[in-house]
Structures are given as C-alpha cells and as structure tokens.
Amino acid sequence: MTANPWDELADLDSRSKEQILDLLRRLDDVPRPARRHMRVYADEYAGHLYKRIPAHTFQCCLCESTAQNWDHCHVHNYVRGPLCDPCNVMEPRWHRDGRFPWYFAKCPGCAP
C-alpha cells in the first residue's frame, strides 16, 4: 500500500473486490492530483499584466480539465488564471452573476 492511494489505481487487475473497495474509500479522503501532463496553477501569473503564455500545460482553475486560454481582466488587463474553453465562454456570465468571487478577486484592480 502506497502513501497516496491515487498511485495504486494503475494496479487494479491483481486486486480482489474487497481491496478495490478499500482503495475507493481511501480515495475519497485524498485530493485528486493534477493529471501528469498538466500543472496545477498556483497563481504564478496572477496580478501580472496579460501576455501570451501557453496555458495548455495547466489545469483549468474552475473545473480541472486541460486549460486552453489565459483568462484576464479586460478592464485592468491582469491575469486571473488558465481556463478551459467551456469555462472561458461562461466566465463573463459567472462574473456578472457573482459566482466564483475568489477567482475574480485575483485581479488586483477588481479585488474588494
């Protein structure tokens, strides 16, 4: 048994039903890691002026799928974070509706 149960998912064929159920119960207690080809965004560019930086190496800040775009404040031009295409399309509506206030506060010009 490894320290991180997510690492055990690769070896399910040799496990009994009881071992798999135990693993699934332990997975509930451990945060899902980033996909191997993506980095979890840690606000590296938050508060910086927007520029073209490849976003596809990061997870979407809102849904954890592969990001394709850098979301930025169009008023102040500061980066908020990487978003996937669906979240990037919904972002204006969510901002207007007051959803994800922690995310929109990443722009220093918009922060309360």
Q: What's the whole-model pTM score? A: 0.57
The per-residue pLDDT for range 46-93, each reduced to its tens digit, is: 767 766 667 888 888 888 788 888 888 888 888 888 888 888 888 888
- Note whether 21 and 71 are same-domain residues: no
- Note whether 40 and 85 are same-domain residues: yes
Tokens found for residue 111: 């922060």
Which CATH number fits the domain that encloses residue 63? Answer: 3.40.1800
- Note whether 39 and 28 are same-domain residues: no
Q: Flag whether pLDDT at 31 surpasses 80.
A: no
Beta-strand (E) ranges in the chain? 69-72, 79-83
Q: Which residues span the domain enclosing 55?
A: 34-112
**R_g (Cα) of the chain, nearest Å:** 18
pLDDT of residue 99: 83
How many structural domains compose the chain? Answer: 2
- Note whether 66 and 17 are same-domain residues: no
Q: Flag whether pLDDT at 29 surpasses 80.
A: no
pLDDT of residue 43: 74
- Note whether 108 and 83 are same-domain residues: yes
